[in-house]
Chains A and B, each alone.
Chain A
Amino acid sequence: MQSLTATLKRLRYGLAASPEVVALIIFLVVFVFFSVAADNFLTPVALSNILTFASIQGIIVVGMAMLMIAGEFDLSVGSNLAVASFVFALTMNAGVAPFPAMLFALLISTLLGAVNGLIVISSGIPSFIATLGTMLAYRGIARAIGGGTFAKCTGPKPLLFNILNGAVDSLNQLFEPVSNFRVSILWFFLIAVVMTMVLMRTRFGNWVFAAGGNMGAALAQGVPVKRVKLMVFALTGLLTGLASVMQFAHRTSVDPLRGEGWELIVVAASVIGGVQLTGGVGTILGASIGILLLQTLEQGLVLMGVPVQVFRAVAGLILMLSVIGNTYLSRQG
């Protein structure tokens, strides 16, 4: 009996070493549930929709996860997304070629991310308050530059749009009905892998963990904590900008409410994936499973004909379940 409890304890410690394990278990449960309960769930159309929708938000999740590991977070990503899309659209409509217009939009979103970082590190106010403020401010900017209305890309789709987020037709046409795999899935995968390597295998990544894990100890060892945090804020802005131009390349229009509420979905995905709000713990893999889980949930419920409002209730439930699971695993003793 004693050896059994000891074995269970060791298993618990083993699982606690991988923060994504709870999210993975819940994901598998949800996936199996919909496979049985929802018609048309295990079809190329449904699965490609999950991946395509998850990939755009997933790119922002990568930034948010890194930011939360560094001990901060950013509520302004949804507003930043709208600003970047408007900048992209309006710059192109003003006659600028698509590629420089995209670079300009990415520059703006990176700057907006860096402004968040500057406010937090120079004033010392919590990032919750600072980015709540910029969430409202950036939304105001999006409305102002858009004149409070839609902006869309007129004329034929430029080649850049296909590179950013074209439909993968050669794959989609294989299925009947036609599936919805898009290039953004590939970009998301690439970004997640590269950023995981940055986080786990570079000096900068080491400093990100240290800044969030114990800021005093990091400072005492000469880690430039403020610079590290500023850079992760800017990186989150850049990744938000990338998600924005990819989404625009797909939809070719943007409205003033674009991205509203995304900040909470993205934070929720990270937390479900085992990233801790208190900093120092988390993986990009876990956060990515988190956003995949939320998209699977939404698509599955839609396929079951459940009213879409229920999605948020279930998402909230899963958020709490995963945090309780992670707290149990990481408990000492």
Chain B
Amino acid sequence: MSNGTNETPVVHMENIVKHFGTITALDGVDFTVEKQQVMALLGDNGAGKSTLIKILMGVHTPDRGQIYFEGQPVRINSPRYARAMGIEACYQDLALVNLMSITRNFFLGRELARKIGPINWLSMRKMNDLTRAALADVGIKIRSPAEKVGTLSGGERQSIAIGRAMHFGAKLLILDEPTSALSVAETRKVLTYTLNAKERGLSVIFISHNVRHVYQVADAYTIIRHGRKVGTYAKGELTEDDIADIIAGVREC
């Protein structure tokens, strides 16, 4: 484990400010994710979690503040740029095409193909084999890579999005409320995959409004409220109930 602070953090966001019209969504937020760390980003609905993440993904540009990726100052101006650096986000609805097979989803946008003139002829067998192997590699068993994603359970779908991000060399994985619609058993599976990802050297940002979803897997918790950071706490520093109270604003810290 290398959760030490002596290494360069994967991502460091400094004094991020973002206004939407007259509304201040983020008011000088600092946010750091260390290497191989599972960082929980917690806050109530409308606290500014998703604005912060969308800035990191290049969907929004901050009005003020600086982002460092692996120590280098960067300007992330598009999702494509964020992906090229190794930041992958798994959104709940936007991750997969339910009507397409696991393989076609796994390789969507990065299809393996033989070029025949202007035609890119899909190497389906090779992609099927690679999909099965890659998912098995991260601990995900599938019945058939040709199966439609829509027939899978919510947890299985999440796991495939996570497996895809890991396979294609993501350094930082962003999971946006990955367990909020899942059963207890399914949630446990997704948490296992999250830990697998960490063991393989990735850093993970786990966004949630409910600390109970992340308490077991997170190494640290960052809590934001009303566009300001309340604080970052290491595992064990606070109890689950303490954190829940801080998120809800019942208790100041």
Contacts and interface: CB of A to CB of B under 8 A. Distances in A.
B122 A203 contact: yes
State the main secondary structure of chain A at its contact with B.
helix
Interface in A268-320: 280-281
B79 interface: yes
Interface string B76-87: 000110010000
Given A202-B113, A220-B79, A220-B91, A210 B120 contact: no
Contact of B108 (A202, A204, A205, A206): A206
Contacts of A280: 97, 99-100
B74 interface: no
Interface residues of B, number: 25
A214 interface: yes
Contacts of B83: 222
Interface in B99-117: 99-100, 104, 108-111, 113
A204 B109 CA distance: 10
Q: Which 3 A-B pairs have the closest CB atoms?
A: A221-B109, A203-B120, A213-B97
Contact of B122 (A201, A214, A216): A201
A202 B115 CA distance: 10
B120 A204 contact: yes
A223 interface: yes
A218 interface: yes
B108 A221 contact: yes
A221 B104 CA distance: 12
A163 interface: no
Interface of B: 79-80, 83, 89, 91, 93-100, 104, 108-111, 113, 119-122, 124, 148
A214 B96 contact: yes
A327 to B, nearest CB: 15
B223 to A, nearest CB: 27
A222 B80 contact: yes
Contacts of A201: 121-122, 124
A281 B98 CA distance: 11
A213 B100 contact: yes
B99 A209 contact: yes
A29 interface: no
Contacts of B109: 218, 221-223
Contacts of A216: 91, 93-94
A286 to B, nearest CB: 15
Nearest to B90: A220
B45 to A, nearest CB: 21
Contact of B94 (A198, A202, A206, A220): A220
B108 A218 contact: yes
Nearest to A278: B99
